[in-house]
C-alpha cells in the first residue's frame, strides 16, 4: 500500500496532522513524520536525513507521497530523495497539496486502494473545497413520494408489522441502526408508520425514517422486495426485539421543569432548565461564522457534483474525528449522536436530490446543497412530535459543515482565555462536544430545549445550562458578569449581592454533596451481607491516576501503556517508560498497579512499526501478545522498565490478547530472560511480581482451566470478548448493536472464566466497560468477581451500587439472567428485580 510522509517545520503540527489522518482510515495507511530539529532553543526546522528516514520507514513499491509545508521543507524533501537508491527515487512523489487537507484526502484514497497518481490527484483536489462562487433558484425537494423507489415486480415482497418499544421511539440513534441495517441488504426496504398513517418511505434514508415521527407504541409496516427480503426483515426484527440496545430508563434525562408563576425581576432572565448547576462568571459571546449562499448558473455540473462529493467526504472525516473525541470525553453512548450525522451524509434521497438540482438546473454546489438541507430541516420542523422536531439541530449542524467546506471557511472554535459563561443564539451538538468544562462554566442561549442533543451533551460534560432566554442577552457586552442556575432555569445579569450570596450558598451546598460522595467513595465497597469487592481504575496516563485516587480507586486494574508509544516517531526508551511507571506507582502509594504490556494492532497501529501488509481483519490479526512476541526487543524493553519500577511497589504484569497456553509460556520465558539479565547486572526488582492475563478471546475461555495453572490472576476484557463472541466489530455501526456484554452468551463466558479461576485458586477481575454500568453490578457480583476496574469517574457510583446489594440477591438474578435469550431480556430482568434504593 502507498505510504505517506508529512514534512513540517513544526513537530507538533505534523504529529497533529498524522493523528487526524490516521483516524480517518483507522491506521490502514502507513504515515511517517519528519518534522522539527533537535534544538531545544529553536526547534522549528527540517532535516533531510530525518525526511530520508521517514520515507524509508514507509517505503512501498506502490509508491510514497510526500506532503510538505513551507520553504526549506521542500528543499529537505528534495535532498532526502537523492539519498535513496535510484530505483526507489522513481517511486517517491513530492506533492504541492495543502498539508492538512491533502494528508486527509491522500490517506483516504490510499486506503481505498487507489494508485499513486490517483492519490496525488485526491490530495491536490483537496484545494477544490476552498473555491468560492455565486448562484440561482431551483425547485424544492420532496422527501416522500417521488423519491420512493420503484420495486421489482419479479422479486417477491415480504412484510412485517412491529410495535416500537423504545422510550423515545426511532430517535437519532435507533433510526441510525435501522438505516444501516436496511442498507446492508440488496432488497428495497420500505417502511410506513401505520399509527400516523404515513406514506411508505425508503428504509435506507435516515431523514425519511426519522421524519416518520415514530414514537413508543407506534406500529410500523416494513416491506422488503428482493432476493434477500426474508433475511433483511429478520435482521430488522432483531433490532426491535433487542430494543435497539437501549434501556427504557432515561439516561442523562433533563431535570423537571419548574414553571415560574412570578414575573422576572430587574436583571433576571427566565429560561429552560437544561443542565443542573450554578455558574457565576463573565459573559463571552459565541457567534458561528455566517455562511452566505448565492445561486448562479454553472456550465460544468460534473465539476459542481465533484465539489459536493469532496466536501461530503471531508465532512464525514471531520464528524468521525468529533465522534472519536466525544467518545473519550462523554462516552460512547452519548457520542453515538454523531452516528446519525454520518448517515445524513450518506442519505441517498438527499444526495439524489442535490445531484438532480445541479444537473437539471445547472446551479452551483452551494445553492443545491443549501436547498435540499433547507427542505429536510423544514420536514422536521413540521412534525407534530416536539422531540423529533428538535432533531433539526443535527440536520442544520451537518448541513452547515458541508457548506463551510464548500466555501473553504475554517471551523468556528470556542477559544477562551479565562473561565466564562458562553452566550449564544444556539449551540450545535458539534459545538457543544468541543467545549472545555474547565473554561466554559455555563451556557446561556436564546433557543434550544432540555431534550436537544446539545443539552444532553452539556449535562454529560457537567456544564450548567439555561436555554431559551430573552434575546436581549445577545446585546450584553463581553465581560459582563452573569450568574445562572441550571436547575431552576434562571439567569441574572450583573446580579445583586443577595442573589450572588444565594447562588454561592447553593453552589457550596452542591460542592459539599460532591465532596461527601467522594469521601464515601474512599470507603471499601462492601455488600449488605458483608462481601468486599475491590474497585480499581482503568487509566491511560499519569493524570488519570491522580483522578483515580481522588475518586476512591483502591488500585489500578488496567494501565494501558499504549499512550507511551503513540504520537511519536519511535518507541519509548526503557528510561522513559521507567520514569512513567514509577511516577504512577508513587501516586498509588502501594496500592496495586496492574500494567498491561503493549496492546497495539487492530484499531491501534504504530506508524513506525510497519506490519508489512494491510490486514483485512485487524481485530483478528497481528495484535497484543502476538505482536510483542514478534518484536522481542520492544517487548524486553518494556518488561525491563516494569521490573525495575516494581521495587517497593505492588506492581503486576498483565499480558493481552492471550489465546493459547503456548503464548503464555513463551512470554514467561522472555520475562525470565529479562529477570536473569537484571540479576546479572545487579539491578533490583520484585522477584515475586505476579503475572496475569487478559481473557478477551473465546479460546482463552475454553481453556481457562489450563491458563489458570500458568498465571496468578485473570482480568476479563468484556469489550473485546463481546465482539469476538458475537462476531461483530464494535467499531462498525452496522453491527455494533450486536456487541452487548449483557448478552447471555457473553455472560456464560464470564461465568466459565470465573469458575475456572476460582477452582485454581486465583483471583479474577473485569476491566471492560460493563464494569462501570451500575445496571450490571448485580450480575457481576452474582457471578462472583473479586474485582471491578472502571474509568475513574465511575468509581463512586459503582461503590454505591455494590453497597446496596447482597450476594444472595445477586446470585438469584444471575441464575435467571443466564437462562434469558437476549441482552434485552437480561436488562428487563435486572430492572424489575427488587434492589434497595440508594
Active site residues: 453, 767
Burial class (CB in 10 A: 0-12, 13-18, 19+), 16: middle
How confident is the model over 131-159, as a mean pLDDT? 45
Please name the residue ranges forming H helices in 95-228. 99-111, 116-125, 172-183, 206-210
Distance of CA 765 to the CA centre of its chain: 25
Res. 527 pLDDT band, cuts 50 70 90: very high
pLDDT(401) > 60: yes
Q: Find the mean pLDDT for residues 588-614.
A: 74
213: left (phi > 0), else alpha (psi -120 to 50), else beta?
left
pLDDT, residue 6, reads 94
Q: What percentage of the chain has pLDDT greater than the value 70?
A: 83
How far apart are alpha carbons 191 and 213 in whole angstroms? 12
Lowest mean pLDDT among 38-42, 176-180, 812-816: 38-42
Residue 492: strand pairing partners: 268, 483
| Interval 295-307: pLDDT, tens | 899 999 999 999 9
Q: How far is CA 77 from CA 69, 83, 568, 827, in A?
A: 11, 10, 20, 58
The pLDDT-based confidence of 146 (bands split at 50, 70, 90) is: very low
Reported as a single tens digit per residue, the pLDDT across 90-126 is 899 998 888 887 888 788 778 767 788 878 877 876 6
* pLDDT for position 234: 87
What pLDDT is attached to residue 837?
47
Question: Binning pLDDT at 50, 70 and 90, where does residue 133 land?
Answer: very low
Q: How confident is the model at residue 134 (pLDDT cuts 50, 70, 90)?
A: very low
**Which of 5-19, 266-280, 395-409, 614-628 shows the lowest mean pLDDT across its residues?**
614-628
Instruction: Show the cell assigned to 5.
Output: 510522509
pLDDT digits over 469-479, tens only?
888 888 899 99
pTM of the model: 0.50
pLDDT band at 350 (very low <50, low <70, confident <90, very high): confident
Residue 271 and residue 468: Cα distance in Å, rounded? Answer: 5
Determine which of 243-257, 512-526, 595-609, 766-780 has the lowest per-residue pLDDT on average. Answer: 243-257
- Predicted pLDDT at 141: 36
**Which domains are assigned to the chain?**
3-130 (3.40.50.510), 150-238+294-410 (1.10.274.10), 268-288+413-508 (3.50.30.10), 524-832 (3.20.20.60)
For the segment 166-178, the average pLDDT, to the nearest whole number, is 73
Written as nine digits, the cell of 830 is: 435486572
Place of cell 440508594: 838
pLDDT on residue 836: 54
What is the pLDDT, as a whole number, of residue 523?
A: 92
- pLDDT for position 42: 74
Least confident of 357-366, 627-636, 655-664, 733-742: 733-742
Q: pLDDT value at position 364?
A: 93
In the predicted model, is pLDDT for residue 585 greater than 60? yes
Residue 252's pLDDT is 42
Helix 807-817 / helix 744-759 crossing angle, nearest 10 deg: 130
Mean pLDDT for 248-266 is 42
Q: Which of 538, 673, 668, 683 is nearest to 596 (CA)?
A: 538
**Residue 268 — pLDDT band, cuts 50, 70, 90?**
confident
Task: Supply the DSSP string of 742-794, one letter for each residue.
Answer: TSHHHHHHHHHHHHHHHHTT-EEEE-SGGGG-GGGHHHHHHHT-SEEEE-GGG
Give the separation between CA 430 and CA 318, rounded to whole angstroms: 10
Cβ-Cβ contacts under 8 Å for 373 (sequence gap 6 or more) = 350, 395, 396, 399, 402, 403
Q: Which are the contacts of 612, defined by CB distance < 8 A and separation ≥ 6? A: none
729-763 burial, b if ≥16 CB within 10 A, otherwise e? bbeebbbbbbbbbbbbebbebbbebbbbbeebebb
Mean pLDDT, the chain, integer: 82
Amino acid at each position: 500500500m502507498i505510504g505517506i510522509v508529512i514534512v513540517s517545520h513544526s513537530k507538533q503540527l505534523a504529529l497533529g496532522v498524522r493523528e487526524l489522518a490516521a483516524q480517518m482510515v483507522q491506521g490502514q495507511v502507513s504515515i511517517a513524520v519528519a518534522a522539527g530539529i533537535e534544538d531545544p532553543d529553536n526547534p522549528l526546522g527540517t532535516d533531510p536525513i530525518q525526511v530520508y528516514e521517514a520515507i524509508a520507514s514507509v517505503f512501498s513499491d506502490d509508491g510514497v507521497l510526500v506532503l510538505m509545508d513551507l520553504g526549506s521543507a521542500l528543499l529537505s524533501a528534495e535532498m532526502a530523495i537523492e539519498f535513496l537508491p535510484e530505483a526507489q527515487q522513481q517511486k517517491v512523489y513530492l506533492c504541492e497539496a495543502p498539508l492538512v487537507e491533502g494528508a486527509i484526502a491522500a490517506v483516504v484514497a490510499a486506503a481505498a486502494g487507489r494508485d499513486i497518481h490517483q492519490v496525488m490527484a485526491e490530495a491536490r483536489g483537496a484545494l477544490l473545497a476552498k473555491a468560492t462562487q455565486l448562484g440561482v433558484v431551483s425547485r424544492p425537494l420532496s422527501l416522500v413520494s417521488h423519491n420512493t423507489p420503484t420495486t421489482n415486480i419479479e422479486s417477491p415482497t415480504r412484510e412485517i408489522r412491529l410495535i416500537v418499544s423504545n422510550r423515545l421511539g426511532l430517535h437519532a440513534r435507533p433510526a441510525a441502526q435501522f438505516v444501516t441495517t436496511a442498507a446492508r441488504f440488496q432488497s428495497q426496504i420500505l417502511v410506513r408508520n401505520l399509527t400516523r398513517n404515513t406514506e411508505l418511505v425508503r428504509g435506507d434514508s435516515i431523514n425519511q425514517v426519522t421524519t416518520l415521527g415514530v414514537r413508543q407504541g407506534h406500529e410500523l409496516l416494513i416491506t422488503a422486495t428482493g432476493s434477500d427480503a426474508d433475511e433483511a426483515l429478520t435482521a430488522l426484527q432483531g433490532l426491535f426485539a433487542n430494543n435497539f440496545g437501549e434501556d427504557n430508563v432515561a439516561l442523562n434525562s433533563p431535570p423537571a421543569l419548574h414553571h415560574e408563576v412570578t414575573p422576572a425581576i430587574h436583571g433576571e432572565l427566565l429560561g429552560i432548565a437544561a443542565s443542573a448547576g450554578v455558574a457565576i462568571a463573565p459573559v463571552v459571546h459565541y457567534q458561528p461564522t455566517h455562511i452566505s449562499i448565492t445561486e448562479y448558473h454553472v456550465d460544468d455540473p460534473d465539476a459542481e457534483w465533484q465539489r459536493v462529493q469532496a466536501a461530503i467526504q471531508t465532512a464525514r472525516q471531520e464528524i468521525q474525528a468529533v465522534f472519536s473525541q466525544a467518545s473519550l470525553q462523554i462516552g460512547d453512548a452519548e457520542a453515538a449522536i454523531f452516528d446519525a450525522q454520518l448517515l445524513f451524509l450518506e442519505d441517498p434521497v438527499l444526495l439524489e436530490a442535490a445531484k438532480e438540482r445541479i444537473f437539471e438546473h445547472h446551479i452551483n454546489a452551494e445553492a443545491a446543497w443549501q436547498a435540499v438541507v433547507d427542505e429536510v430541516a423544514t420536514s422536521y420542523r413540521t412534525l407534530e412530535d416536539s422531540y423529533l422536531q428538535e432533531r433539526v439541530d443535527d440536520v442544520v449542524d451537518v448541513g452547515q459543515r458541508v457548506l463551510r467546506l464548500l466555501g473553504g471557511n475554517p471551523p468556528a472554535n470556542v477559544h477562551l482565555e479565562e473561565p466564562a459563561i458562553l452566550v449564544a443564539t444556539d449551540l450545535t451538538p458539534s459545538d457543544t462536544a468541543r467545549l472545555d468544562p474547565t473554561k466554559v462554566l455555563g451556557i446561556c442561549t436564546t433557543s434550544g430545549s432540555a431534550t436537544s442533543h446539545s443539552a444532553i451533551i452539556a449535562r454529560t460534560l457537567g456544564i450548567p445550562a439555561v436555554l431559551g432566554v430573552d434575546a436581549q442577552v445577545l446585546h450584553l457586552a463581553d465581560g459582563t458578569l452573569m450568574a445562572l442556575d441550571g436547575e431552576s432555569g434562571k439567569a441574572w445579569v450583573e446580579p445583586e449581592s443577595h442573589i450572588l450570596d444565594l447562588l454561592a450558598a447553593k453552589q457550596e451546598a452542591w460542592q459539599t454533596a460532591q465532596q461527601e460522595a467522594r469521601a464515601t467513595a474512599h470507603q471499601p465497597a462492601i455488600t449488605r451481607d458483608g462481601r468486599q469487592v475491590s474497585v480499581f481504575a482503568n487509566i491511560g496516563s499519569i493524570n488519570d491516576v491522580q483522578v483515580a485516587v481522588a475518586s476512591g480507586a483502591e488500585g489500578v486494574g488496567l494501565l494501558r501503556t499504549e499512550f507511551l508509544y503513540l504520537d511519536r516517531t519511535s518507541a519509548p526508551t526503557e528510561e522513559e517508560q521507567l520514569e512513567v511507571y514509577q511516577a504512577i506507582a508513587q501516586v498509588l502509594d502501594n496500592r496495586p498497579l496492574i500494567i498491561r504490556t503493549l496492546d497495539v494492532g487492530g484499531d491501534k497501529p504504530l506508524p513506525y512499526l510497519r506490519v508489512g501488509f494491510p490486514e483485512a481483519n485487524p481485530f483478528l490479526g497481528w495484535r497484543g501478545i502476538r505482536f510483542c512476541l514478534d518484536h522481542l526487543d520492544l517487548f524486553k524493553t518494556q518488561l525491563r522498565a516494569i521490573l525495575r519500577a516494581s521495587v517497593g511497589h505492588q506492581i503486576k504484569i498483565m499480558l493481552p490478547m492471550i489465546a493459547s497456553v503456548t503464548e503464555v509460556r513463551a512470554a514467561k520465558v522472555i520475562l525470565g530472560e529479562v529477570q536473569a539479565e537484571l540479576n546479572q547486572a545487579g539491578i533490583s526488582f520484585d522477584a515475586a511480581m505476579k503475572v496475569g492475563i487478559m481473557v478477551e478471546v473465546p479460546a482463552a475461555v475454553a481453556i481457562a482451566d489450563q491458563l489458570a495453572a500458568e498465571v496468578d490472576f485473570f482480568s476479563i476484557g468484556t469489550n473485546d470478548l463481546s465482539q469476538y463472541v458475537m462476531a461483530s466489530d464494535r467499531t462498525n455501526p452496522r453491527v455494533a448493536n450486536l456487541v452487548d456484554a449483557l448478552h447471555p452468551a457473553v455472560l456464560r463466558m464470564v461465568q466459565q472464566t470465573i469458575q475456572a479461576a476460582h477452582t485454581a485458586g486465583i483471583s479474577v477481575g473485569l476491566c471492560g466497560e460493563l464494569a462501570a454500568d451500575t445496571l450490571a453490578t448485580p450480575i457481576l457480583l452474582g457471578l462472583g468477581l473479586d474485582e471491578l476496574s472502571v474509568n475513574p469517574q465511575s468509581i463512586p457510583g459503582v461503590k454505591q451500587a455494590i453497597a446496596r446489594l447482597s450476594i444472595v440477591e445477586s446470585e438469584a438474578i444471575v441464575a435467571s439472567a443466564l437462562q434469558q435469550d437476549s441482552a434485552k431480556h437480561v436488562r428487563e430482568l435486572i430492572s424489575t428485580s427488587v434492589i434497595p434504593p440508594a
